[in-house]
Each structure stands twice: as C-alpha cells, then as structure tokens.
Amino acid sequence: MSIMGTRVVRVEDPAFLTRGARYTDDLDLVGALHLTLVRSPLAHARIEAIDVGEARSAPGVVGVFTGADVDLEPALLFGGANEKMVRAFLAKDVVRFVGEPVAAVLTEEAYQGQDAADLVEVDYDPLPVVIDLKAAATDEVLLFPEAGTNTSNGFDHEKDLDPNLFDGCEVVVTRELVNQRLAASPLETRAAAAEWGEDGRVTLWCSTQNAQDTRSEVAGWLGIDAEQVRVIAPDVGGGFGAKIGADPEFALVAWLAKQVGLPVRWSETRSENMTGMVQGRAQLQTVAIGGDRDGTVRAYRIDVLQDAGAYPRLGAVLPMFTRMMAPAVYDIERVESRARVLVTNTTSVAAYRGAGRPEATAAIERAMDLFAAEIGMDPAEVRRRNLLRPDQFPLTTKGGAPYDSGEYEKALDKVLDAVGYADLRAEQAARRERGDAVQIGIGVSVFVEITGGGAFKESAAVEVHPDGAVTVLTGTSPHGQGHATAWAMLASEHLDIPVEKITVKHGDTDLIPRGSGTMGSRSLQTGGVAVYQAAGELVEVAKQRAADLLEANVDDLVVEQGAVVVRGTDTAVSLADLAEREKLRVDTRFDSGAPTFPFGAHVAVALVDVESGKAVIDKIVTIDDAGPVLNPLIAEGQRHGGIAQGIAQALLEEVVYDEDGNPVTATFADYGIPSAAELPSFTLLDMATPTHLNPLGVKGIGEAGTIGATPAAQSAVIDALAHLGVRHIDMPLTPLRVWEAIEAARSAGGSRIEGAK
C-alpha cells in the first residue's frame, strides 16, 4: 500500500517530546569558553578608542579582542552588492547600526561574560544617522564615504519610467505602500560553537539552514580551504530564512577558537537577536495601476526602494524576485518595475518567509483593491476578470517568470464559496445599515509564488544495511519541516521498509559534502525527489543483483516488505541480505532545472471595532496549492505557520527605529509577535495542481501561506472601514492606525458612525 499522501506522525517527535531536541546551545563541549559580544549602542559613529584593560582582568576572562586584533579581511556579505560596503568581523573604525559587534570577551563561565563585557569602554564619536529610505537615496548622509553613494545595487534602477505606460486607461490609481520591516523571530536565537582539531580542521556547530553554504562562506571569510572546515547543524529551532547561510559571528567564533586554542561557544540573547540577526521585508513601494471601468486592468507599475540595512546581505537581491512576481496571477498588458537597494543605519535585511514575493503580492493585491474601489466594483470580481486562464499555461509572464501550472479562478471560486462570500457581504451591509460598533470586512487575495530557492539541484543517498535498517543522506536542512519523516516516507515507498527503520541524516558537511539546504520552499521538489529517485535506483540495483542470485528475470521481480520477490512466489531475498553480500547504497543527484509556481487564494474575515480601532481576523479560508501532498499533516502545519506569520505582518508586527537609529521594538515584549490568543483557527481547503518539472509533480509549500494571508488580512480590515471613506492603511494595522484612519476619513467628510454613543 502506498504511503504517499498519508498522515504519518513524525519520527522526530518522541525524542523532541521526552528529552527534547539538541540545539547548538545544548551541546556538551568540554572546556569551551563562552563568547559575549560588546555591541554598539549607537547607529552611526566613529570608534575613537576602546579600553579593554579592566575587562581583561575581570573574573574568568581568558581574552578580550577588538577589531584591531582581528586579522580577517572585512567581508562583502552579498556578491551583488556595492563592493565597498563590506563588514568587519568586529567593527574597526566605524559602527553603522545599533547592535554591531565591537569587542569579543571570552570567559570560562557563561555568567561571567556580561560582567566582563560591561567593563569594556568604548569611546564613540557620533555621526549623522540615516534611517529613512528616501533620505538615504539623497546620499546626503553616507554610510560608506568611499562608495560615494548609499545605493548598493539595483535592478533597472537608473532607467526612466515609461511616461506612456498608462495611456488609454480610463482610471489610474497611484499609491505609496509600505511593506514593513519584520523580525523573523525564530524561538531559537543564533548560536555557534567551534573547535579546532590537531589536524588543523575546524568543526563549527551552528544554527543554520544550510550547512554546506555556511561551510564555504566561513572558509572564505577565514581565508582557508573549505576542506578544512566541517559544519554541523544540530537541531535548529526555526529559521524562516533568517538563518540562510552563515553569519559573520560564526567566523568570529571560529577565529577566536583558533586564537585561544580552546573551543569557543556563543549563544545570543533575544535582545541581541532583535538587532543582530537579519530582518525581513523593508520595502517602500510606489504602485500605479490603470485600466477601464469595466474592470480590465491594462497597466501596472511597481517602483521599489529596498532597505538593505547597514551592510547589504541577501536582501539586496530580493527585489529581483519582487519584480519577477510583480504581475502575480494577472494577465496585464503592460507591466513595468524597477528597484533600488539602499543602505541605512539599521540591521541588515535578508530573507524572511517569502523573501521578495510577499512584497510583490501585497503590492498588487493592494493595487487591485484600490482600483476596485475607484471603479466601484467588487474586489473579487475585479480579480476574476484579470486572472490568467488555465489554458495559457505554461507561460513566461511579463515579469519574466516561467509559470508551470495554475488554476487561479478555480482557487478563487472555492474559497469564496467556502466562506459564504455573498452572505458575508449581506451581513456587512446589515451592520453598516445599523451602524454597529463592530463591523466586518472581507479581504480576498489570489496569489502565485515562485519556489525552488534558486537552487534546483540536490543530492541524496540511500543505503540499506545488513540489519535491515536504512540510512538516507540528504542535502536539505530541516528546522521544523519534518524531513526525517517525509524523506523516510519517500524511501519507504520504494523499499517497503517501515519509516521507523529509516534514519534521515542532514547537516554534516563531512557526511554530506554537497547540498543547498532548506530555504525558498525548495526541499521537497529537489531534495525529496532526489531521495525518491535514489530509493528507486537502489531498487533497480537490488533487482539486478537479485535476478542473478535467484536466477530470475528482472521483469518478474517486485519489492515487498523490504525484500525482492519473484512475483507470485515465495522466492525472495531481502534487501538486508543483499546488503550483507555487497554494500547496497545509491548516491544520486536530481536537478529540477527550474522553479515551480504554487498558487492559491485566501479570504479573510475581519472584525473591526470602529469605536476603538481594534481589528482581529475572525476567520480565514485558504487554498495553498503546491501540487500533490506527500504528508498532509506536515503540509498543513507549514500552511498554518505561514498563515499566522502572514496575519501577523498585516496586523501586529513591525520593527521600528527612531530617527536616531535606536531600535524601539527590540524585545519580545515590544515586538508584535502573536500568541495563540491573537489568532483564529484556520480553514484549509485542498487543491493539488501538479507541475511537470519533477516526477512527483510537487511544488513548495513552506512560504505560500504567508504570501496569501498578508494581503487578505490587510484588505479585510480596510474593507471593514470602506463605508467610512477609508481607502488604505499601511501595515501593520494597529488599533492606533485604524483609529487614525477612521478619524481622518471622518474629518474628510466620511459618513457618521451611527450607534457610537
């Protein structure tokens, strides 16, 4: 019986639920020193002097290091960025964001660390600070004078916009939108530990989403061969894109370990994490949408300013994906975009669940709603009239994306039907008529997203052991996605050996030298397929050997319950026995060659107390179609997590800096990450449209929920206020913003709220 598509509970869980998982900070490292970092309290300043004398003689201190001590070349953290915008491993002359590491203190005990760090005295000479993107674009205050500009890079950013783009459009709406900066906030902060061996190699344990990439990055920063570095990713407590690759701190940990000849370990506090770990989104978008009063959209433009933070990282390339996905699910004649990436005195920006694509979807969905409001048409209907049709697939879009498959209108119809759209509109009308204090709003989003993580090749190895157990080696790097279970299912499908006997290993570069990790929703469509392929190839090898052994025809052989059997007879040899005779292992590599395009539709229902401004999402009905579902339990979990983050962006979260560059939301008490009390339960509908790009027909599910939920939630709240004259509110739609929007619309002549006494 096929195991594909069944709700297999996770093999990881018994350990996780008894002794707990083993994260980097849990590792036993005998004799390891503890690293505490001294970080800049200023957003932009010259370092005049650092006095470490008192710190050096504090209890338990083994060493104190500053930028002057670190003999590593400052690194360009993203290849496509302006090459002058490099980051030192400990700031040498200038600090450029609050939280930038300035000194490193090594102590014998963890508790001694902050005591010693507090004794380091740094003399700062403050410099002017630039936080605002438009201000950064003027180049008045430069972060890197030697670069002469705050523009790191861009995508057609110097080209002039087409003044005729909207010719012939009866209606044009233009709006500036904020896709706000977010903090990924995995529950496990960053951690790393390093130990050099007598053989001159360093073992680096770290909380990362890709051990192999981390290895090459760290080796490069240390100026040594990748061969000399072994990276091990223990259990990782969430990543969401922010743990893609290596952080400079990882190289620092390794370098320090070399200096002192002892293992060094580091585990940051949450407050450090909220300024030290890369953040997400942070785009200022100008959108313009034009079309006719019958609902046809003829032209769309998105002009992006991307905040890179102080030191450009992966965020510097994300607008490329925003541009690629700009037209989203719509068939629009003319689409134009450009993007400029700017540095500011803030934390670096990189990937966060969706990484460039939520920004594209949120922008065009908002534009669609604004257009619908302008022409007085139902927003679901406007979308319907402009969707790409199934018979148009596969196609290359106006954004340059090769869409593989999609049934957008079907997804829209299903969610509208499931939520009872017509009834909701009727209830909305009734509440407006009565002037209820609590209004409802309905937000619709239809979306498509690009998955594959830009890394379409992946390795896998499957080996059957003489005792009948199986080991799978994968180049993916799960941190909650359940690959140990899912890849075991894929191997089990071919080998017919139960998942309990299949162990999946990942994240150790000595064991698995090649791999691209887990990001961009790539894992199943590359790594999973590779496992499936490897297991299938192993079965072929086994059959050949069995054919010889059993003197049977290969075509008469099948695999049942872990054995190769002559069909319809008792004649068989177990895979374990075959392995006993000769090692039974297949290594394979799969290349899907191209990204896939999952899609879906969300409808969110908001309840908004128009007296107080408080909004909640009461219900959300979703389709996230990523093709056939291998394990519905795990896939649903991915959707849930994405939807929660999507709603949270719309209503709750924002990283805020004041004008001096001080982070204002740098703890979990201040940053709006939701608890269970802020969210409803979610309604998930099933739809599975396969892709032709891999034998399993699967796409990537990890980020779709986030991409669909954010605009649906934002739209729902604004929709609840539409009758009051509110057209737009930037995210997050906090009670303050909602109330101010209502007040502004009221004084601009919106309708009076009846019933509010």
Partner 1 sequence: MKVEITVNGASTSADVEPRLLLAHYLRDVLGLKATNVGCDTTSCGACTVLLDGESVKSCTLLTAQADGGEVITLEGLSPDGAELHPMAAAFRAEHGLQCGFCTPGMVMAAVGLLSENPKPTEREVREGLEGNLCRCTGYHNIVRAVIAASGQDPDEVQGAAIHRVTDAGGVEAAAGFSSGDSAGGGE
Partner 2 sequence: MIPVGFTYERPDTLDAALALLAEHGDDAKVLAGGHSLLPVMKLRLAAPELLIDIGRLDELRYSRVDGDQLAIGAGTRHHDLATSDVVAAEAPLLGAVARTVGDPQVRHRGTLGGSLAHADPASDLPAAVLALGGSIVMRGPRGERQVPVEEFFTGLFSTALEPDELVVEIRVPRTGSAGWAYEKFTRRANDWAIVAVAVVDGRVGMVNMGSTALRASATEAALASGASIPDAAALADQDTDPPSDLAATPAYRRHLARVLTRRALTTAAEAG
- Which of 141, 260, 377, 673 is close enough to bind partner 1 by CB under 8 A? 673
Q: Kindly tell me which of 336 and 636 has the beta carbon lying closer to partner 1.
A: 636
Residue 542 interacting entry, from partner 2, partner 1, none, C-beta within 5 to 8 Å by type: none
- State yes or no: residue 24 binds partner 1 (CB under 8 A): no
Q: Does 400 participate in binding partner 1 (rule CB under 8 A)?
A: no
Nearest to 271 by CA among 155, 190, 216, 161: 190
Residue placing its CB nearer to partner 1 in the complex, 317 or 666: 666
Distance CA 215, CA 206 (A): 10
- Which helix H or strand E contains 608, and what residues bound it? strand 599-609
* Nearer of residues 507 and 642 to partner 1, judged by Cβ: 642
What DSSP string describes 259-322?
HHTS-EEEE--HHHHHHHS-EEEEEEEEEEEEE-TTS-EEEEEEEEEEEEESS--GGGTHHHHH
Each residue 626-645 as x (binds partner 1 by CB under 8 A) or -, in order, gives: -------xx-xx--xxxxxx
Considering the complex, state which of residue 4 and residue 547 has its C-beta at the smaller distance from partner 1: 4
287's tokens: 């959108």
Interface positions, 592-611, toward partner 1 (CB under 8 A): 607, 609, 611
**In 3D, which of 442, 391, 434 has the Cα closest to residue 416?**
442
Query: Is residue 739 a contact residue for partner 1 (CB under 8 A)?
Result: no
Nearest distance from C-beta of residue 598 to partner 2, angstroms: 30
The DSSP letter of residue 693 is S
From the number of C-beta atoms within 10 Å of its C-beta (0-12, 13-18, 19+), residue 267 rates as buried
- Helix H or strand E encompassing 410: helix 408-419
On the question of a cis peptide bond just before residue 319, with omega within 30 degrees of 0, the verdict is no
- Fill in the per-residue mask, 477 to 516: x = in contact with partner 1 (CB under 8 A), - = not in contact: --xxxx----------------------------------
Long-range contacts of 607-610 (CB under 8 A, 24+ apart): 607/438, 607/439, 607/440, 607/720, 608/438, 608/439, 608/440, 608/441, 608/717, 608/720, 608/721, 608/738, 609/437, 609/438, 610/437, 610/438, 610/439, 610/720, 610/721, 610/724, 610/742, 610/753, 610/756
Q: Which is nearer to partner 2, 237 or 319 (CB)?
A: 237
Total residues contacting partner 1 by CB under 8 A comes to 68
Tokens of 470: 């199986």
Rounded CA gap, 501 and 471, in Å? Answer: 9
Stretch that binds partner 1, among 380-388, 475-483, 519-527, 570-578 (CB under 8 A): 475-483
The answer for residues whose C-beta is within 8 angstroms of residue 233's C-beta and 6 or more apart is: 205, 206, 207, 208, 209, 211, 214, 477, 506, 507, 508
Interacting partner of 642 out of partner 1, partner 2, none (Cβ under 5 to 8 A depending on kind): partner 1
Residue 16 near partner 1 by CB under 8 A: yes
The H-or-E segment that residue 591 falls in is strand 584-591
118: left (phi over 0), alpha (psi -120 to 50) or beta: alpha
Tokens at 501, concatenated: 């006997």
Q: Which of 4, 437, 511, 656 binds partner 1 (CB under 8 A)?
A: 437
Q: Which residue in 116, 682, 714, 745 binds partner 1 (CB under 8 A)? A: 682
Nearer Cβ to partner 2, position 150 or 267?
267
422 binds, among partner 2, partner 1, none (CB under 5 to 8 A by kind): none
Closer Cβ to partner 2, 429 or 664, answer by number: 664
Segment near partner 1 (CB under 8 A); pick from 4-12, 136-144, 301-309, 506-514: 4-12
Of the pair 12, 378, the CB lying nearest partner 1 is at: 12
In the complex, the residues that contact partner 2 under the rule CB under 8 A are: 110-111, 113-115, 118, 269, 271, 611-614, 652, 656, 664-665, 670, 672, 674-675, 677-678, 734-736, 739-740, 757
Which 3 state secondary structure label does DSSP give 371? helix
Kindly state whether residue 679 participates in binding partner 1, applying the rule CB under 8 A: yes
Residue 480 binds which entry of partner 2, partner 1, none, with Cβ cut-offs from 5 to 8 Å by kind?
Answer: partner 1
Amino acid found at 137: A
Q: Does residue 2 interact with partner 1 by CB under 8 A?
A: no
Tell whether residue 434 is a contact of partner 1 (CB under 8 A).
Answer: no
Q: Does 433 bind partner 1 (CB under 8 A)?
A: no
State which residue, 6 or 269, has the beta carbon closest to partner 2.
269
Position among 55, 165, 222, 236 found at the interface with partner 1 (CB under 8 A): 236
State the amino acid at position 379 in one-letter form.
Answer: P
- 429 makes contact, choosing from partner 1, partner 2, none, with CB < 5 to 8 Å by partner type, with none
Nearest Cα to 649, choosing from 69, 240, 70?
Answer: 240
Binding mask 61-90 for partner 1 (x = CB under 8 A): ------------------------------
Q: Using alpha carbons, select from 302, 272, 280 the residue that is nearest to residue 289.
A: 302
Strand stretches in 40-93, DSSP E? 45-51, 61-66
Distance CA(699)–CA(519), nearest Å, equals 13
- Judged by the rule CB under 8 A, the positions of this chain that interact with partner 1 are 9-10, 12-14, 16-23, 26, 110-111, 184-189, 235-238, 240, 269-271, 436-438, 479-482, 607, 609, 611-612, 614, 616, 618, 633-634, 636-637, 640-645, 667-669, 673, 675-683, 755
